[in-house]
Every structure is written in structure tokens, then in C-alpha cells.
Amino acid sequence: MTELELKYGCNPNQKPARIFMEEGELPLTVLNGRPGYINFMDALNSWQLVRALKQAVGLPAAASFKHVSPAGAALGLPLTDVERQIYFPPEGELSPIACAYVRARGADRLCSFGDWAALSDVCDASAARCLAAEVSDGVIAPGYTQEALDILKAKRKGGYNIIQIDPSYTPAPVERRNIFGITFEQGYNSLDINEALLDNIVTQNKELPQQAKNDMLLALITLKYTQSNSVCYVKDGQAIGVGAGQQSRIHCTRLAGNKADIWWLRQHPKVLELPFVPGIRRPDRDNAIDLYISDDAPALLQDGAWEGIFTQCPQLLTQLEKQTWIARHLDGVTLGSDAFFPFGDNIERAHQSGVKYIVQPGGSIRDDQVISTCDKYQMVMAFTGVRLFHH
């Protein structure tokens, strides 16, 4: 048996703590830092996500995890000029795996504050520079270049957590966990998520382009490693809103939809032109943008909450401007759900955030109502027949 002693468990009072394997060697190595219990939970869940995404789509993938759910996940596609403005990556050319992390982190920069990062490919210097610029707890990857290690080991006064995992590792077919002294056992969820799951299109509109298929696979794989109930909004190879751990499906859809709307509002011309003071810290800039977009912006401005943030008083976005920007410009979004939609209200909410493609298990007694609501908006919906609960 091999083991790694941890400082403590989920909380400082939960001691002793360790990770171990009863047979064989641990498939991971800590190259730097001292990862904790929750760090390892984030690391192992996020690694499974990016590994599956790379296998399904064939592109480098990255995820940004917080509290055992993804704040973002993305494919390694080149950044647009607007994405460079709203994600604040380092200057210069970025490698595909670096682009993947920048896009994953950029989906919800507030929730990604202090994240755990996962990379499907070897971490190169380009990706390391992106990680070094952010407030992050650690990273897991199948390997690191020496230059990347040198960059990351200098982060957090030398304490940044770096884990290398064996990409060939396959878990045992049965997994166990203890709750309240009682052992639970189940088969490992080895479900292969691929395009064959998307064949059952149940709506009148059956036009499903390859980009939408990739986005559906990204949504499903993200959901497979998100605390349930959960839904995921995706656009152009990037999760733009994840609603995790809610007790009702509509609350998941609203939560994730609101995040998708915020992601899109960050691209509004007024936001891109905000007059920040020179040298502002990245978290302060992220918080200011979030507040500027929020409905509380007028009151905050009156209270002087943004003193020292802007060089001059910004012109606020009106509610009409927000609604118009989302309604007229946000389109082609994919929505995935880890279980069936019980009512058409989820589709109505999805429509408000530009959703055109939906993938879900199906199986509700009101499937006809859900399909009818999709048909009203000429959406394309596929039933997978597969539930993706994760706890």
C-alpha cells in the first residue's frame, strides 16, 4: 500500500488525513507544494474531465475547478481579439493548451478565483505563464516542461501545488467511499461520451453542425464531473455558465443562464472601454466588472465603491442596453443537462440566453411539452438516454 499524508481533511479539525491505494502505486506525483484533501478531490475530478474531453474531441482541453465542480472548461482554440480583452492573458503567442486554460478560466473569473487547474496536455511555458498570472491553488497535468516547472515553482513564494499524473492510469472497475462510517460501493462511471449519444434528435429542427456537436460533448463531459443537479451552457468550445448542486432543475438553468449572460455582457463595448486606473490588480478589475454589470451598479457608484478603480466615472449600462445586447447578439449557445428537463420553463429560460442546441437524457412524463417548447424557438434537441449524476 502506498499513501500520501495530508495536512488535514476538508476542515482543519478533520485529522488524520491521507490518500492511499491498497494495491499498487499512486498514479500521481507531487512535484511542488503540499496539496490538501480538497485539492486532490478537485485535481482528480478535473483530470478526468479534461482527459475525457481530449479523447472525445481530439483537442487540448483545460478546466478550472472550485469545490469539486468546474467553474469553466474549454478546448484549446485560438483566442479572438475580444477574448484577449476580457480574459487578460499574458502578451504574445499562446500555445493551444494555454488557450484552453485561458478560456476555461475566463468563463467565470469570479468563481475561478483561487481555482484548481487541469490540463489534458503537457504544461508548457506558455500555459505556465498564464497560471502564474492568476490567483490559483494548483495544477494537475500529465507532464511539465522544465521551463514551465521553473515558472510555477516560483509562484506563491514557492508553495504552488503541482501534481503530475500518469496519463495511462485506469481506475479499478469498482469504487468505494465511506459516509458516517458506512461503506458505499458502485461501479466506476466509465461511460464513453461520444457523438453516437447525439443521434436521437427529437425536435422538428434536426440540423446539428459539427461545432454544435463538439459543444454538446463538452457540455455532457463537464456535467459528468459537476456536482448534481447541474446544467451547462456552452458556446464555441467553451463552457460559459455552469449551474451546479441545485435542488431543482430550473434553479440550475437560471443560475447557469445568468452566468452565461454575464459572460456575454463582459463583451459589451461599454465594458471593453471601462477606464481602469493603470496597474490595477486582476482580481480588483474582475470584481469591478462584475459590479458594473450588476443591477446594483447605480447604488455602488453613488456610494463611491469604485473610488480608485476608474480614472473617471464610467457611463453605466442601462437595463434596456443589457437586455438588447443579450437578445440581439447572444446566439448559437448549447445547453446540456445531467438529467431530464421536467418542464418547458427550462427551455424558456434557455431561450433568453441564446440557446439553440440542447442535449439531455429525456425520459420526463412531460417530454412532449419540453419538445414543443423547443420547436416554438426552432431549437435542436437530442435525447441521450443517459443520466450523468455526480456526487
**What is the model's pLDDT at position 328?**
86
The answer to whether 292 touches 271, Cβ cutoff 8 Å, is yes
**What is the model's pLDDT at position 306?**
72
Instruction: Give the dihedral sign, CA 75/162/129/144.
Output: negative
**What is the model's pLDDT at position 22?**
85
| Residue 351 among the catalytic residues | no
Give per-residue burial for 239-254: e unless 16+ CB within 10 Å, then b.
Answer: bbbbbbbbeebbebbb
**What is the model's pLDDT at position 181?**
92
CA distances in angstroms from 53 to 58, 168, 203, 223, 267, listed in the order given: 8, 15, 26, 11, 26
% helix, strand, coil for the chain, step of 5:
35, 25, 40
**What is the model's pLDDT at position 307?**
77
| Residue from 66, 213, 259, 268 carrying the catalytic annotation | 66
Neighbours of 185 (CB within 10 A): 8
123: amino acid identity, one letter: C
Mean pLDDT of the chain: 94
| Residue from 67, 153, 251, 322 carrying the catalytic annotation | 67
Cell matching residue 380: 435542436
| Residue 229 among the catalytic residues | yes
Q: What percent of the chain has pLDDT over 90?
A: 89
Closest alpha carbon to 193 in 57, 56, 63, 62: 56
> What distance in Å separates the CA atoms of residue 229 and residue 390, rounded to the nearest whole number?
8
Of the listed ranges 86-95, 246-255, 306-315, the least confidently predicted one is 306-315
| Residue from 229, 268, 346, 351 carrying the catalytic annotation | 229
**What is the model's pLDDT at position 1?**
59
| Residue 268 among the catalytic residues | no
pLDDT digits (tens, 9 = 90+) for 157-167: 999 999 999 99
| Residue 67 among the catalytic residues | yes
Neighbours of 25 (CB within 10 A): 11
Instruction: Give the dihedral sign, CA 105/106/108/113.
Output: positive
pLDDT digits (tens, 9 = 90+) for 201-241: 999 999 999 999 999 999 999 999 999 999 999 999 999 99
DSSP per-residue letters across 150-212: HHHHTGGGGT-EEEEE-TT----SEEEEEETTEEEEEE-------GGGG--B-SS-----HHH
Closest alpha carbon to 71 in 272, 260, 326, 338: 260
